[in-house]
Every structure is written in C-alpha cells, then in structure tokens.
C-alpha cells in the first residue's frame, strides 16, 4: 500500500508539473502574439474602425444632412417606436467588428503559417498539446474582438447626427455575450483558416464573410424579418445573428430582440460546433 500511495503521489505531482508547464507555455504564446499586435497597433485600429466608421458616417451623418432634416428624415432612421437608426446600428456594428476581427486574427495568420514556409511548425514545437496551440489562437482573437467592439462603441456615440442611445440593463449578460461572441468568431476563423487553402483565403471574405454579415441582422432586428418568414428562419444558421441580437438585447433592450436564453444557448452551440471543426482541421493540417 505504501508503494501504491507513493506512485499515486508521484503521478499527481507529475500532472501538476505538466499543468504548470502548459500554463507557462500558453501564456508565452499569448504574450508573443500580444507583442506582435502591439507593433501593428495602427493597422489593427484601421482594420477595426474603417467599416463601421464609413457606415455610420454615410447612413447616420451624411444622409440626414443631405435631406435637411434630422435622423428621422432617413428612410431607415426610425425603427421600433421612433428609435433612431444609429441606435439600431450600434449592436450590429459591434457584432461586425467582433466577427471581422476574430476571423482576421486567426484565418489570415493561419494562411501564412500553413503556407510554403510552414511557420506553424515553430509554434507546435512549444511544450503544449497541439490542440492547446489552436485554443490559444481562439483566445487571443477573442481578446482582439472585445477590443474591437469597445472601439466601435464611441464611434456610434460621436459620429451620427443623432447619437445612439444605449442602456445596459444587465452587465453580466452583456459581458457573457461579448465573451461568447468573441470566442465564436475566433472559432469560425480557425475553421476557415484550416479548411481553406492559403491562396484562397481572400476569396472567403467575399463568398462567406460578407454574405453572413448582410444576412446577420446587423442593420435590422431579427423580428423585422417577420414579413419574410422563409428568410427569417433561414438566417438562424448564421452565428452573427445571435451576436447582433445578443448585443441588441444587452445594449438596446427597447428594440425587439430574441429571447436572451436562446441567444446564449445558440452562441454556446456555435462555439462548441465551430471549435470542434476548427480543432480537427488544425490537427489534420499540422500532422499532415
């Protein structure tokens, strides 16, 4: 019995040591990526800000001033009981920033790392399971997505002719939606980056990313599709729908939105589904 207890104790110490080593290696990869991002902070800010800034400027500043009236003169300027269009846009543009940032932070670097130079081999040589290297990419992209969403928020306040009006009723719900949405976008980026050939990664943005954005309830609430029931049900397979609706429920609760529990459940479902697909694809590409 003494020998068995000693062996068990040794095994436990070994497992604890392995976990500590894994945590240090994971943190090392994360800090390395953070250092690279710090050197490319300006391109990151431009990438995040350009799309929502132009959209807000044209639809919520230029159009109202061209018509000579306020935000209500915009044909899309009032929704859900007189709410101005900038308020409708705020959650959707934050969701777009999360999605674009997550995909760009994972899929684009993977296209280079899986290329001819096989830079990915340097990463998987660190003392971590290969799946944990993929998990680090998802976590790091999630951090970028949260920052991207935070950058978009002040744009929606100061750029439109009529500022967006946000009212947070539950901070825990908002934080949970942001975390889940950011992880889902990173998992989607991992899936795309491992499923598509490096030379075709640019095509994915035109064929996949742009369509799911326009059909992701970004510029309108999901309930507004009620007159198009086929389309309303078809877009439910789009993960960005639940990002937009989740942020809409958290930031603009006066607008119609999905049930919060359904939103959280579907975000968790997409995280598990896309994370599993991305992990399998990552392992396949690395081992091959």
Sole residue written with tokens 């920033």: 97
Q: How far apart are CA 100 and CA 173, in angstroms?
A: 22
Say if residue 97 is in the same domain as residue 154. yes
pTM: 0.83
Same-domain pairing of 258 and 270:
yes
Produce one character per residue of 149-158: b if its CB has 16 or more CB atoms within 10 Å, e if not: bebbbebbee
Find, among 205, 193, 208, 201, the residue nearest to 284 by Cα: 193
- Residue 183 has a pLDDT of 94
* CA 60 – CA 127 distance, rounded (Å): 51
pLDDT tens for the chain, 288 residues long, are 444 444 344 445 555 656 777 777 777 777 777 777 777 777 777 777 777 777 777 777 776 666 555 544 444 444 445 567 777 888 888 898 898 888 888 888 887 777 666 667 666 677 778 888 888 889 888 988 998 888 888 887 777 767 777 888 889 999 999 999 999 999 999 998 888 776 777 777 777 777 888 888 888 888 888 888 899 899 999 999 999 999 999 988 888 888 999 999 999 999 999 999 999 988 888 776
- Among residues 75, 69, 273, the alpha carbon closest in space to that of 187 is found at 273
Residue 54 and residue 187 in one domain:
yes
Q: Are residues 30 and 48 located together in one domain of the fold?
A: no
Q: Are residues 94 and 179 in the same domain?
A: yes
Tokens 């599993």 identify what position?
276
Instruction: For residue 218, give the nearest of 274, 152, 163, 168 by alpha carbon.
Output: 152
Domain ranges, residue 196? 42-287
pLDDT at 7: 37
Based on the fold, state whether residues 48 and 33 are members of the same structural domain: no
Q: What is the pLDDT of residue 174?
A: 92
pLDDT at 78: 44
Find all residues with CB under 8 Å of 100, minimum gap 6, and list them.
47, 48, 51, 148, 209
Residue 286 is predicted with a pLDDT of 78
Same domain, yes or no: 145 and 189: yes
Q: What per-residue confidence (pLDDT) applies to 208?
A: 76
Q: Which pLDDT score, from 0 to 100, does residue 82 have?
A: 56
Residues 106 and 3 in one domain: no
Q: How many domains does the chain contain in total? A: 2
Cα–Cα distance between 172 and 175 in angstroms, integer?
5
Whether 118 and 15 share a structural domain: no
Q: Are residues 170 and 27 part of one domain? A: no
Residues 13 and 71 grouped into a single domain: no
């Amino acid at each position: 019995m003494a020998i068995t207890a000693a062996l068990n104790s040794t095994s436990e110490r070994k497992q604890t040591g392995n976990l500590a080593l894994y945590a240090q290696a994971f943190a090392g990869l994360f800090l390395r990526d953070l250092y690279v991002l710090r050197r490319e902070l300006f391109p990151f800010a431009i990438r995040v800000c350009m799309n929502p800034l132009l959209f807000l400027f044209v639809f919520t500043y230029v159009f109202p001033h061209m018509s000579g009236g306020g935000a209500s003169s915009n044909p899309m300027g009032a929704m859900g009981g007189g709410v101005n269009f900038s308020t409708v846009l705020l959650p959707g543009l934050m969701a777009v920033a999360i999605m674009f940032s997550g995909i760009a932070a994972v899929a684009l670097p993977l296209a280079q790392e899986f290329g001819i130079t096989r830079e990915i081999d340097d990463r998987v040589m660190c003392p971590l399971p290969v799946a944990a290297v993929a998990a680090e990419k998802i976590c790091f992209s999630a951090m970028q997505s949260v920052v991207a969403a935070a950058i978009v928020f002040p744009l929606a306040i100061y750029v439109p002719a009529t500022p967006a009006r946000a009212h947070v009723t539950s901070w825990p719900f908002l934080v949970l939606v942001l975390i889940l949405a950011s992880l889902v976008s990173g998992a989607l980026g991992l899936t795309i980056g491992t499923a598509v050939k490096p030379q075709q990664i640019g095509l994915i943005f035109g064929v996949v990313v742009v369509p799911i954005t326009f059909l992701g309830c970004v510029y309108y609430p999901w309930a507004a599709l009620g007159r198009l029931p086929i389309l309303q049900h078809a877009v439910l397979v789009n993960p960005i729908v639940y990002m937009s609706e989740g942020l809409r429920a958290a930031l603009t609760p006066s607008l119609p939105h999905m049930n919060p529990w359904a939103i959280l459940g579907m975000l968790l479902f997409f995280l598990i589904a896309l994370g599993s697909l991305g992990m399998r694809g990552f392992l396949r590409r690395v081992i091959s």
